[in-house]
Homo-oligomer: A and B are copies of this chain.
Amino acid sequence: MKKYNESKTKVSDLKIAYIGGGSRGWAYILMKDLAQEPDLSGCVNLYDIDFEAACCNEIIGNRLSAREDVVGKWKYEAKKTLQEALTDADFVFISILPGTFDEMESDVHLPEKYGIYQSVGDTTGPGGIIRALRTVPMFQKIALAVKEYCPKAWVVNFTNPMTVCVRTLYKTFPQIKAFGCCHEVFGTQQLILDMLKEKYGVQAKRTDLKTNVVGINHFTWLTEAKYKGIDLYELFGEYVKAHPNGTGVHTNPNWVNLPGTNLNMVKFDLFKRYGVIAAAGDRHLAEFCNGYWYLKDPDTVKSFGFTLTTVEYRKKELNSRLEKAKKYASGEAQFVLDDSGEESVRQIKALLGLGDIVTNVNIPNMGQVPNNPKNAVLETNAVFSEDSVRPVFAGEVPLRVNALVMRIIEEQEAVVEAGMTGDYELAFSVFVNNPNVNLPFAAARKLFDEMLENTKAYLPFYEQYKRSRNNG
C-alpha cells in the first residue's frame, strides 16, 4: 500500500507491475529513470511469458538498486503469473511483443510477394492489421486480469499497435484507467528545436514549445506550434520550402539498410500537400497514405530518403540487446544514469499528486476532438494530476487530413471488434480497404488468408473462420 511521508513530498511502498520486458528495450529505461528519482520507492513485479527473461531483469534491477549512486531504491521481483504480478498494483506497464519474430516475418514480408512494401508493419497496412488481430486477445486477457486483481491501478501501454491495444483495454473493462505512451511526437518537436536553433540561434527545450497535438498514434499532427512569440508554423513552412530534399544527406553510404534513418522528406511532402505538420517518423507516416505515394516499391522509398525495417534487422538488434542484458546481469556492464527524455516517472509523480504535467497521450475521445468519433483512442495533450488523466480540448482535425485520420480510426475500430469477436470477415473488409492493399479482390483474399494462417496460433477464433471459408 503506497504511503506518503508526513511532509507529503515522497511516496514509498509503491507497487509497479511490468508486463513484458523480455525485449529489454523499454524496461531498462524505466529502471534507470526510477533509479534517479529520489521521491519514489517500492517494488516492481516483473512478468513475462518468458520467465527467464523476467528473472534476468530481476537481477539487473536489483543490482541497479544496490548501487550507491542510485537514489531511487526499488525491489525487483520476477513473478510466474499475471495474478501474482498484478495483485494490488498501483501502476501497470505493458510492453510486450505480440507473438514472435516468425509472425512478424509474415506480417512484414509476405505482402512483398504481392508487391506491397511496408516500412514498419506494426500499426496499419496488411502487417499492422494481422498483428492487431493476434494482439487484441492478449489485451483482452490483460484487461480482465486488471479488472480482477488491481482495478484501480493506472495502466500504461507501450505496445503496438498502440491505438488497438488501448481501445481493447477500454472495450473489455470500461472503468480501466489506462493510457498509451509513445515518443514519436517528441521527434518532430526535436526537429522544430533544430529549426529554431538554425534560424534564431535559440537553444530551447522540448517543453518550451507550445504544440497542440491531434490525431491517432503514429499519425499525429501539430495544429498549433508556438515558441514565445515565434510562429513555428511559419518557421516550418519556410524550412520545408528551402529544403526540397529534406533535413540533410545520408552520411552512411549503407543507409538504405539502416531502419529509422530518414530525412523527413515524407513529413515535408505531407506539409506541402496539406499545410499541416505531421508529428511522427516518416516510416510510420508513409504507411497511412496511398500506397503509391511513398511505398510503391523500394525505389520510391529510397527516393523519399527513408528505409524499410526488415525483420532480419530487428532480430539482429534484439540479439545485441540480449548480449547487453547478459552483461548487465553479470555486472560486466552498468547502466549510465543519463536523462532518458521519457516521461513515465514524471507521469507517475503527477498521478500521485506530486505536481501536474501536460503531455501527449493516447486515450479515448471524450470530446477533445469533436470531428472524430467518441471513444476512438486518440493522441492529444492531457493534464496528468492526482489520480486523473484528463484530455485537453484539442479542437478539430484539419479538414485537409481528416479523411485520412477517419479512415484509420474506422480501420482500427473494425480490427478491434474483429479481434474480440472473431469476425475476421470484418477485418478482411478493412484489409481490402487499406490504401496499401492495391490488389484485385481474389489476390487480396489470398494474401489475407495466408497471413492469417501464419498467425493462427494466436487467434482464438481461427478454426471457425477456416470452416466458414471452406463452406462459404
Contacts and interface: CB of A to CB of B under 8 A. Distances in A.
Contacts of A208: 353
A122 interface: no
Given A371-B373, A403-B407, A272 B210 contact: no
Interface stretch (A47-55, A149-157, A224-232): A224-232
A247 interface: no
Nearest to A418: B399
Contacts of A410: 399, 402-403, 406
B387 A358 contact: no
B441 A273 contact: yes
A388 B411 CA distance: 29
Interface stretch (A164-172, A277-285, A428-436, A449-457): A428-436
A229 B414 CA distance: 31
A388 B210 contact: yes
A381 interface: yes
A433 B11 CA distance: 43
Contact of A404 (B224, B354, B433): B433
Contacts of A404: 433
B388 A368 contact: no
Contact of A425 (B275, B385, B402, B417): B275
A233 to B, nearest CB: 12
A386 B429 contact: no
Contact of A358 (B356, B366, B411): B356
A381 B426 CA distance: 27
A3 to B, nearest CB: 8
A204 to B, nearest CB: 8
Interface in A357-392: 358, 366-368, 370-371, 373, 381, 383, 385-388, 390-392
A88 interface: no
Nearest to A202: B8
A293 interface: yes
B390 A393 contact: yes
A273 B228 contact: no
A272 B429 CA distance: 9
A313 interface: no
A246 to B, nearest CB: 14
Central interface residue in A388, A393, A407, A411, by most chain B CB within 10 Å: A393
Given A406-B410, A413-B399, A366 B393 contact: yes
A400 B383 contact: no
A212 interface: yes
A103 interface: no
Contact of A2 (B229, B275, B402, B403): B229
A70 to B, nearest CB: 25
Contacts of A400: 414, 426, 429-430
A269 interface: yes
Interface string A73-91: 0000000000000000000
Given A381-B383, A399-B410, A370 B367 contact: yes
Contact of A406 (B204, B383, B403): B403
B371 A441 contact: no
A393 B224 CA distance: 19
B438 A292 contact: yes
5 cross-chain pairs, A with B, having the tightest CB-CB distances, nearest first: A367-B367, A403-B410, A210-B386, A400-B429, A228-B353
15 contacts: A8-B202, A224-B388, A228-B354, A274-B429, A275-B425, A290-B438, A358-B385, A366-B370, A366-B395, A371-B373, A390-B394, A393-B393, A399-B410, A402-B410, A407-B407
